[in-house]
Structure formats: C-alpha cells, structure tokens
C-alpha cells in the first residue's frame, strides 16, 4: 500500500473517532444536562429541557467558532500539524472527563458546566480541523481525500448517534467517558502519520491576508454553513421532534438519526471521486436543492416509517454535496494556506451548527416544528439557487488541478 493510501486510512479513522465522540452525546443530551445539574430554578440557560440542551450544544460550537482559526493559523505558520493535534486531543479528553466528574464533585452552577463545555470544545476543534487538513495535504485527488474525510465524518455520526443513545440508557455520563478515551487514542495514533505540511512557514498576518485574497472561498464556505446548519438542526430539533412526535426513546432516536448518517457515510468516498470526474457544480448545486427538498419531506412525514425513508433520501443527497464542497476548498486554496482555509470552512460549519441549534430551537419553541423544518429546508434550497451565477462564472469543471496529486498515487 502506498504511504499516502495508508495515511489516508489512518487519518480518516482519527476524524471518525473525533466525530463519533461528539455525536455520542446528542441522542441523550436532555438526560445528560439533567444529570449534570441543569435546573430551571437556578439558571436562565436551563428554563426548559430544550433550552438547557440547546445551550449545552451551543457552548461547544461557540468555542469552535472562537478557536478553529487559531489552530489553523498556528499550524500553517509553524509548518506542523501533528503536535497541535496531539495537544488538542489530550486537552479535549481532559475536558470530557472533567464534565463526567461534575456529579461526583458536587453542585456546580449550570453556567460552570457551560464554561467547561467551552474549554472542551476549544481543544477538540483543533484535533478535528487539523486532522482534516492533513487529509488535504495528501496526494491522490482532492475529491478522494475529502471523500475519505466525509465518510469518516458520516460514519462517526451514523454510529455515534445510536451507540450514544444506548450508552445513555446505561448511564447518562457514559458518553462523556467514552469520548474522553477516544480522544486520548487520537492523540496517540496521529504521531504514527507523516506530517506533510508544506514547510514554507509564514506569518499569521500573511496567512490571513492570503485568505482574504481568495474571496471565491466564500462559495464553499456558504454551502458548508448551510449544510452544517441542517446537521445542527437535526441533532437538536430533529432529536426532540422524533421523540415528541413519534414517542421514540433515546435508543430509537439514535437509530432514526442513523437512517440519515448511514447512507451519508457510506456514499461519501464514491461521491467525492465522482466529483473529481464530473466537476463540483452538479453535486453541489443540484444536490443542495434536492437536499433541501428532502428536509421538507422529513418534516411532512406522517409516520415513523415514512420519516425514516425520507431521512435515508436526505442522507444520500447529503453524501453527494459534502465531499464536493470540502474538495472545492482544497481546489481553491493555496497549499501553504490549507490549514487556514480548512479552518475557515470549519468556522463556517460551526456557525452553521450554531444557527441550526439557535434558529431551529427558537423557531420550534415559538412556532412549532412544521415551520422549523420549512425554514431550514428553505435555506438549503435558497443557497443553491443564489449561487448558480457564481458557479457558472467559475466554470468548475473537472481539471487536472482538481485531481492534483494523482500522479504516482492513482
């Protein structure tokens, strides 16, 4: 096996582990925050189970937004990825373990829980974003490399949701402990991968200025924002919607989420390779429009069975869009600015998750689930329609640049 192929497998496994650890908490988030001491009588952030769950998830992604760029700039400026991934993984593991220890320590205000969550998120995003950047650094075709990242993300989410639901039924704190252990493994295993970071170290100012000279990156960033908004919506609002509308428990809710994440994961790599051959425009634009329509069908489904079928369809369409969007970042970014470019993409994605939590949660609380699904599905359709002229100007057809690195590694 070529060293790039081997490292692609290892790095994808590490991305999987980080995503898996994150999704473990989602199906039982309401039970978890209750176990951690969320109390409406003592905290305005815990007025209802939905509010407490929303702010617990928001705290992590607020940290993602605040720190993902710091990790990317530090990595590109020093020309190293591995040491930062090790540091982020181990510190993130400490954050998860600290949250799990809260009930044993005693009563801690819910605001303190949220502060710990912010620290954990600030560290975890470094491991996640820079491991994805190491995949960008590999030879073999941008679509293939980002397809590997996508299948890792999708599989981690697909397995993390149902397993997290089962762990929650055993003990609400179990997902936190498993997540801590997984991040320790990530920090240890990444040292086995060759660091292929371009060794042209640049100042932080030069890196940021270089990114500013690439406004075209706003296109994949916009799609990354909206795509992650839908994921955040399903993680919070979708979870509660399935439980309240169809009476599902945490375990069954995890299986329902897996109906989306299963095909989303399994089809990422072939869809990424497909975008290397046919270009990015059709997978991103057409796929996003259909993806938004699928979300509307989930919200309109009258039964568990039809909702599950709609979730499978949404997963297939998501697999068409996701790797092509991430590959487009690699296509457009200079190789010496990949850490910052991927940080920007993950920043947009984290803002999208926050939007999914906040917009979805607020609309669902105040106006019901039907309008919430309509708003989120409408966003996905709108971004596809609005960006058609930009894609036509770019003429994003398959080129040798899109398949850079194929020589010697095909």
How far, in Å, are 5, 230, 286 from residue 266 at the CA level?
18, 19, 20
- Token pair in block for residue 403: 């398949």
Give the closest residue to 198 by CA, choosing from 88, 83, 75, 86. 75
**d(Cα 292, Cα 384) in Å, to the nearest integer?**
9
- Rounded Cα–Cα distance for residues 103 and 231 (Å): 30
The reported pLDDT for the residue numbered 326 is 84
CA distance 328 to 399: 12
Q: Where do the structural domains in the chain lie, given as residue ranges?
A: 3-197+209-394
Kindly state the tokens that stand for 160. 């993390």
Instruction: Summarize pLDDT for 275-328 with one digit per residue, the tens.
Output: 888 888 888 888 899 999 999 999 899 999 999 999 999 989 988 888 888 888
Q: Report d(CA 145, CA 139) in Å as an integer.
A: 8
Between CA 325 and CA 401, with CA 272 as vertex, the angle to 5 degrees is 75
User: pLDDT per residue over 195-214, tens digit each?
Assistant: 887 665 555 555 556 556 66
Query: In this structure, are residues 227 and 349 in contact, taking their beta carbons and an 8 Å threshold?
Result: yes
How far apart (Å, rounded) are the C-alpha atoms in residues 90 and 184? 6
Please, what is the end-to-end C-alpha distance for the chain in angstroms? 11
Token representation of residue 88: 């982020």
Contacts for 105 with CB less than 8 Å, ≥ 6 apart = none
pTM greater than the 0.85 cutoff: no
Number of Cβ atoms within 10 Å of the Cβ of 124: 27
Fold adopted by 3-197+209-394:
Growth Hormone; Chain: A; (1.20.1250)
Do the beta carbons of residue 53 and residue 238 sit within 8 Å?
A: no
pLDDT tens for each residue of 321-373: 888 888 888 787 777 777 778 778 878 887 887 788 788 888 888 888 899 99
């Amino acid at each position: 096996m070529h060293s790039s192929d081997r490292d692609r497998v290892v790095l994808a496994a590490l991305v999987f582990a980080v995503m898996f650890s994150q999704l473990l908490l989602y199906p039982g988030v309401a039970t978890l925050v209750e176990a951690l001491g969320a109390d409406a009588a003592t905290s305005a952030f815990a007025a209802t189970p939905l509010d407490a769950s929303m702010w617990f998830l928001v705290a992590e992604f607020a940290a993602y937004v605040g720190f993902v760029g710091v990790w990317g700039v530090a990595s590109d400026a020093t020309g190293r990825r591995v040491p930062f991934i090790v540091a982020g993984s181990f510190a993130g593991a400490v954050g998860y373990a600290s949250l799990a220890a809260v009930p044993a320590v005693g009563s801690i205000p819910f605001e303190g829980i949220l502060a710990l969550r912010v620290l954990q998120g600030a560290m975890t995003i470094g491991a996640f974003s820079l491991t994805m950047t190491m995949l960008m650094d590999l030879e073999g075709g941008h679509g293939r490399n980002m397809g590997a990242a996508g299948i890792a993300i999708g599989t981690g989410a697909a397995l993390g949701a149902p397993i997290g639901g089962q762990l929650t039924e055993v003990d609400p704190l179990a997902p936190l402990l498993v997540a801590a252990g997984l991040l320790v493994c990530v920090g240890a295993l990444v040292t086995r991968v060759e660091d292929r970071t371009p060794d042209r170290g640049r100042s932080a100012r030069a890196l940021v200025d270089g990114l500013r000279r690439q406004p075209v990156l706003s296109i994949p960033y916009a799609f990354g924002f909206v795509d992650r908004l839908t994921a955040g919506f399903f993680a919070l609002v979708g979870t509660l919607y399935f439980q309240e509308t169809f009476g599902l428990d945490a375990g069954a809710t995890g299986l329902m989420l897996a109906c989306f994440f299963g095909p989303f994961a399994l089809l990422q790599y072939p869809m990424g390779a497909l975008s290397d051959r046919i270009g990015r425009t059709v997978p991103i634009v057409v796929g996003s429009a259909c993806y938004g329509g699928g979300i509307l069908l989930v919200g309109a489904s009258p039964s568990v069975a039809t909702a599950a079928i709609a979730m499978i369809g949404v997963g297939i369409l998501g697999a068409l869009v996701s790797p092509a969007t991430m590959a487009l970042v690699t296509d457009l970014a200079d190789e010496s600015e990949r850490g910052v470019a991927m940080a920007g993409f993950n920043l947009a994605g984290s803002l999208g998750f926050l939007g999914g939590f906040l917009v979805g949660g607020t609309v669902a609380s105040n106006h019901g689930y039907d309008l919430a699904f309509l708003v989120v599905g409408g966003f996905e359709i709108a971004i596809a329609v609005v960006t058609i002229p930009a894609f036509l100007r770019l003429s994003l057809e398959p080129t040798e640049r899109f398949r850079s690195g194929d020589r010697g590694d095909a």
